[in-house]
């Protein structure tokens, strides 16, 4: 292999990352195109502003886990070890990011924390703590999220609910119950489910927010563990460190970037489609937005939207 590569300097060897078959199938352009068409039609029909488009997702956090870091050791030493907290408590964090956040109000929606432990309240940061039997979000908690949390924190921004809102999320069964959908329909909240196994391509939080957040939190835990005066990690210290990490990672710049690199705003499906290997893409070359002839072209997200203008009727 090495001699072959030396003879052909234009190519190189790289380790491949295994992708399960269902996720590979989901990378088909037809599935991605269908998703973007649905997204565009909802935006156009209901005149939804970028500032009223949200993405919601949850991520598990091991509260005592620090970030991986490079350690200087003597040559020949095998695995370098460094001090860690050792806490194995698991917390699910539910975050909601907005497509066009402002510096004044940032992400608007504070996070929700879910744990198997006792109910906890952290009022200093406006954070919410819920408990569940397994420490994960359930249908009951998802309904509480949409009715008592998301709507509570976004209704005023949407002209007291008169303007339509769009919530992008994965299609987990807990997010698509009849009660969940009915509440959204009654309150001008449109739910757009991501295609199965496509969050690594289409979900703003997954693509551009959770990774820097995880690293920032790990760095805070690392600094905490270095201080001998600090006790073992507790929920109180977890909230403090997570808050610091959140301020570093969930910035307005990163929020906008997350919707941009996933093709939502500016509306450029090709950003995602270019990542998908496909032999025959002639039809997409004719229309870089990926829409068939005769369909409306992508909306101009830079053009001011007048809420007084009645919604467009789809063809």
Q: What is the pLDDT of residues 83-140, one digit of tens each?
A: 444 456 888 999 999 998 876 566 679 999 998 866 555 566 678 889 888 888 999 9
* Cβ–Cβ under 8 Å, residues 116 and 235: no
Residue 292, pLDDT score: 40
pLDDT > 60? residue 3: yes
Both tokens of 161, joined, read: 């609910």
Residue given tokens 């909601």 in the structure block: 96
Q: Quick one: what percent of the chain has pLDDT higher than 70?
A: 68
May I ask the CATH class of domain 27-67+82-286? alpha beta
The SS3 assignment for 166 reads strand
Least confident of 4-8, 109-113, 260-264, 267-271: 4-8
pLDDT > 50? residue 302: no
Q: From CA 245, how far away is CA 247, in angstroms rounded?
A: 5
pLDDT > 50? residue 241: yes
Instruction: Report the mean per-residue pLDDT for the chain.
Output: 78
* Cβ–Cβ under 8 Å, residues 296 and 44: yes
Residue 102, pLDDT score: 74
pLDDT > 50? residue 279: no
pLDDT > 60? residue 297: no
Cβ contacts of 24 within 8 Å, gap of 6 or more: none
Q: From CA 165, how far away is CA 47, in angstroms rounded?
A: 10
Residues 256-275: what's their mean pLDDT?
94
């Amino acid at each position: 292999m090495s001699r072959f590569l030396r003879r052909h300097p234009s190519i190189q060897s790289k380790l491949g990352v295994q992708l399960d078959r269902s996720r590979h199938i989901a990378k088909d352009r037809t599935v991605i195109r269908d998703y973007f068409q649905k997204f565009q039609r909802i935006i156009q029909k209901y005149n939804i502003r970028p500032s009223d488009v949200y993405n919601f997702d949850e991520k598990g956090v091991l509260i005592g886990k620090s970030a991986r870091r490079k350690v200087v050791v003597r040559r020949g030493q095998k695995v370098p070890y460094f001090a860690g907290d050792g806490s194995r408590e698991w917390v699910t964090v539910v975050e909601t990011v907005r497509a066009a956040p402002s510096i004044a109000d940032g992400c608007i929606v504070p996070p929700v924390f879910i744990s198997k432990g006792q109910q906890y309240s952290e009022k200093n940061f406006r954070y919410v703590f819920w408990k569940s039997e397994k420490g994960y979000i359930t249908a009951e908690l998802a309904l509480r999220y949409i009715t008592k949390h998301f709507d509570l924190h976004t209704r005023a921004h949407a002209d007291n609910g008169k303007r339509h809102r769009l919530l992008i999320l994965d299609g987990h069964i807990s997010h698509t119950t009849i009660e969940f959908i009915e509440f959204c329909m009654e309150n001008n909240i449109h739910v757009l489910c991501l295609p199965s196994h496509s969050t690594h391509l289409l979900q703003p939080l997954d693509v551009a927010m959770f990774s820097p957040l995880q690293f920032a939190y790990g760095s805070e835990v690392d600094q905490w563990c270095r201080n001998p005066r600090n006790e073992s990690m507790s929920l109180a210290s977890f909230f403090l460190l997570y808050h610091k990490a959140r301020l570093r990672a969930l910035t307005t710049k990163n929020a906008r970037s997350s919707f941009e690199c996933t093709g939502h705003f500016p509306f450029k499906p090709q950003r995602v489609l270019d990542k998908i290997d496909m032999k025959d893409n002639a039809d997409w070359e004719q229309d870089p937005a990926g829409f068939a002839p005769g369909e409306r072209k992508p909306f101009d997200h830079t053009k001011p939207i007048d809420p007084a203008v009645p919604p467009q009727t789809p063809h």
